[in-house]
Structure 1
Amino acid sequence: MIQEQRLVRLITLKLIPFLVLLYLVAYVDRSAVGFAKLHMGADIGLGDAAYGLGAGLFFIGYFLFEVPSNLLLDRFGARRWFARILVTWGAITIGMAFVSGPNGFYVMRFLLGAAEAGFFPGVLYYITQWYPVRHRGKILGFFILSQPLAMLITGPLSGALLGLDGIYGLHGWQWLFICIGTPAVLLAWPTLRLLPDSPAKVRWLSDEQRSWLQEQLANDLREFGQTRHGNPLHALKDGRVLLLALFYLPVTLSIYGLGLWLPTLIHQFGGSDLVTGFVSAVPYLFGIIGLLIVPRSSDRLNDRYGHLGLLYALGAIGLFLSAWLSVPGLQLAALCLVAFALFSCTAIFWTLPGRFFSGASAAAGIALINSIGNLGGYLGPFGIGALKEHTGQLSSGLYFLAAVMLFGLLLTGVVYNRLERRQRLASTLVAPASR
């Protein structure tokens, strides 16, 4: 008899810490530009709107290359494809240190998105090959800890690296890009050596454990009526994929819009670059707390949509208060509420696609949901930059994000009615026929 919790714990200890490390490095690489902007703008002639455009172009590259990347991952295997992604995104991050104007900034941000495309949705697909549906909320919560942990590290680290200004004739923001890009390149070899492609290729699972895991994944396929298209590209035309992508859009728009402008907002409180870095890290502590509490609650109660609706509401309230309040301490408290809601929302949302798709269809569907959703990573930074330049107030961008989260709250009911009720009806029709 397989002890389920012990097996899940074994898989988690073998895989999740290393995946957290890789995504932490990825998130630092994509987010540190918010701190580099504090000084590189003057050095290369980059205004607020131009910065917002360039910061967002990362997600255009991500959007265009994400689905092909995930399909290639399914073909070549996780360890080789993740290693390729690490080398290319690390090299391009280092190359960011040598841009000399807005056009170079635009090109490198686009290439960084193209290089990194497929890593996050690739890991999400990878997790569906190792964990039954009932365990995925908690596991995704652990993995997405990488995001707030990265931001927790990025602030103080960036503040310290910006202080290297003038060493060997390089600006502090140049040292920042060089130092954060190098670990990604160095981690490619451990990825090839340590990361297994699938449960069938590891020695630390017994034959009995492998058989049990395969049986549980097959049960999920039957219980949830998961779709496995003959041609995985057919998943891209599935209306459920497009609806889930729209549902995810407010989360990414708010996370990246806020994250890439948070250093500028905190800098307005006053203080040095190092102080700005440490204060900017505080909201992400609350993101970590949310990820340790909320996904577990969602798994225990077997409730996804109730939790998501509450989190969208909390995010909207926090963003509104962060714009409306004028006292720095109260603004920071509101931003802590926002981080708690947004990161928890991400973990719970990503339990949904695996309920509807499996196999290569899951790889394609997850990639498309994430690529469309991550257009919010373009719209958020660019929208806030344009609004700030037009109104002269960063608060206008925060009000915009609050409205976006309210839209997500309204979509919660729509998604539940369109997807869950339809799936339950299909299951009741299929069950008698299978008896």
Structure 2
Amino acid sequence: MSQELRLIRRITLKLIPFLILLYLIAYVDRSAVGFAKLHMGADVGIGDAAYGLGAGLFFIGYFLFEIPSNLMLDRFGARRWFARIMLTWGAITIGMAFVQGPQSFYVMRFLLGAAEAGFFPGVLYYITQWYPVRHRGKILGLFILSQPIAMMITGPVSGGLLGMDGILGLHGWQWLFIVIGTPALLLTWPVLRFLPDGPKQVKWMSEDEKNWLTAELSKDLQAYGQTRHGNPLHALKDKRVLLLALFYLPVTLSIYGLGLWLPTLIKQFGGSDLVTGFVSAVPYIFGIIGLLIIPRSSDRLNDRYGHLAVLYVLGAIGLFLSAWLSVPVLQMAALSLAAFALFSCTAVFWTLPGRFFAGASAAAGIALINSVGNLGGYIGPFVIGALKEYTGNLASGLYFLSGVMVFGLLLTGVVYRVLERKHVLPTDQFAASARGATRT
């Protein structure tokens, strides 16, 4: 193994497992509401449309506070800022146990989004400070493993906690919020104690290794024409940022639209809350498989857009079939295909912004891309809830998500032509395939 790979492996072992744990907790906190909805709606008077609106308001809070949060991260450092985020989101998640109706549900979901804002894009920005571009696909795939792992954990744990109904006078859904919010509070101190702000602060890298990493990141700056705006907020007006934000929207809309309604869909198959929890974990196993395979393939072939195009097609097919089919086993197979595509798509997509921006501009740009994309987290659950209330079933919402993925496929070609015209690499398989098709 080369010295480069040994260093990359050491960085990965030191940072990525801890970051996976932190984001896993965040994802459980935001996603458990899908299971709480199975009972809290009847207890506090929240219907399908109100749930869809409240579930989505998380992302409005995230959208409004994400860019300021990422700029604060660049100013105060990852260690302190991530600890602040965890402390507030843990407290608010516990507070969700005491909502009294739709209005308080709306307020708490909005506050949870505002509290957590900046964590995911903050980690993405943090990774750009540790890894050269050529290694980021695999690393992002590993980090984003926390999403499907969290959903796998959320199902069985939520199903079990819902069974605590009546203990100490609390409903099962109240215990769910209390239990899942506590780990974020407990991990605040370890974040402050163990997470380094950047490569310069660590003792487990030699000066030669730090200098090599700095040089490699500088090479990326030149090779990809990365931009460092004098005022990082100028990145928010950059057409590349805006186009990438639009490109990311179909992915988040589909992931959250599906994820927040999946327990309701699985519940229609029949079975207890615990069975629903375990069955809901199945698609996310395939999401994990995708994240272990597709980003590595993307790195190896230096091909982002070709992989994204294929993943959008698979996602559209999986979502369409999950609505069209009526046999539960076949529906689960279709949902598993959709999860495979959606989570893989997320990892491959996030290799793109770091190719064009560096420094505080990257922090601002990544935050805007993720915040606009997270509007899909508002649109998806809300539209599916409205369609379900209007049609009486979830199939119409799944057809809507399938159409969204087709839109993402069309955007793939547009983004490639606009962003890569000046930076096409010789090994870009998307371009090679296009040239081959033209010759044919």
Provide the TM-score with structure 2 as the length reference: 0.96
For structure 1, the residue ranges without an aligned partner over 5 or more in a row are 426-435
Task: Give the AA of the match of 1:211.
Answer: N
Alignment of 1:12-411 (within 5 A): 12-411=12-411
The answer on whether the counterparts of 1:45 and 1:102 sit within 8 Å (CA) in structure 2 is yes
1:60 CA drift (Å): 0.1
State whether residues 2 and 209 of structure 1, in contact with CA within 8 Å, keep that contact through their aligned partners in structure 2.
Answer: no
Does the Cα contact within 8 Å between 1:250 and 1:408 map onto a contact in 2? Answer: yes
Q: Distance in 2 between matches of 1:401 and 1:216?
A: 40
Identity %: 83
Please tell me whether the aligned partners of residues 161 and 173 of structure 1 are also in contact (alpha carbons under 8 angstroms).
yes
The answer to whether structure 1 residue 8 and structure 2 residue 11 are counterparts is: no
Q: Give yes or no for contact 1:52–1:383 (8 Å, CA) kept in 2.
A: yes
CA distance in 2, matches of 1:215, 1:287: 35
CA distance in 1, matches of 2:217, 2:241: 21
Q: How far off is 1:424 after superposition?
A: 4.7
1:430 alignment partner in structure 2: none
Structure 2: state its 5+ residue gaps.
426-440
Q: Which amino acid aligns with 1:236?
A: L
User: CA offsets, 1:21-67, max 9 Å, x none?
Assistant: 00000000000000000000000100000000000000000000000
SS in 1 for 2:417: helix
* CA displacement, residues 218-252 of structure 1 (integer Å, 9 cap, x when unaligned): 00001111000000000000010010000000000
Contact 1:82 1:119 (8 Å CA) reproduced: yes
Does structure 2 conserve the Cα–Cα contact (< 8 Å) formed by 1:70 and 1:121? yes
Structure 1 position 422, deviation (Å): 3.6
RMSD of aligned residue pairs (Cα, Å): 1.0
Runs of 4+ in 1 over 2 A off after TM superposition: 422-425
Question: For the Cα contact (< 8 Å) 1:2–1:212, is it kept in 2?
Answer: no
Q: Secondary structure at the match of 1:333?
A: helix
Alpha-carbon contact 1:24-1:147 (below 8 Å) kept? yes
Deviation at residue 2 of structure 1 after TM alignment: 7.2
**C-alpha offsets along residues 356-382 of structure 1, whole Å, 9 cap, x if unaligned?**
000000000000000000000000000
Which amino acid in structure 2 is aligned with residue 332 of structure 1? M
Q: What amino acid does structure 1 have at the position aligned with 2:289? A: I
Superposed displacement of residue 393, structure 1 = 1.3
Deviation at 1:283, TM superposition (A): 0.2
For the 8 Å contact 1:96–1:177, the answer to whether it is kept is: yes
Partner amino acid for 2:273? D
SS state at 1:418 partner = helix
d(CA) in 1 for partners of 2:103, 2:421: 49
Distance between the aligned counterparts of 1:155 and 1:72, measured in 2?
Answer: 34
Residues 130-183 of structure 1 deviation map (CA, whole Å, 9 limit, x = unaligned): 000000000000000000000000000000000000000000000000000000
CA distance in 2, matches of 1:2, 1:408: 38
Q: Which residue of 1 aligns with 2:432?
A: none
Q: Report the CA distance between 1:423 and its aligned residue.
A: 3.8
For 1:428, the equivalent position in structure 2 comes to none
TM-score, normalised relative to structure 1: 0.97
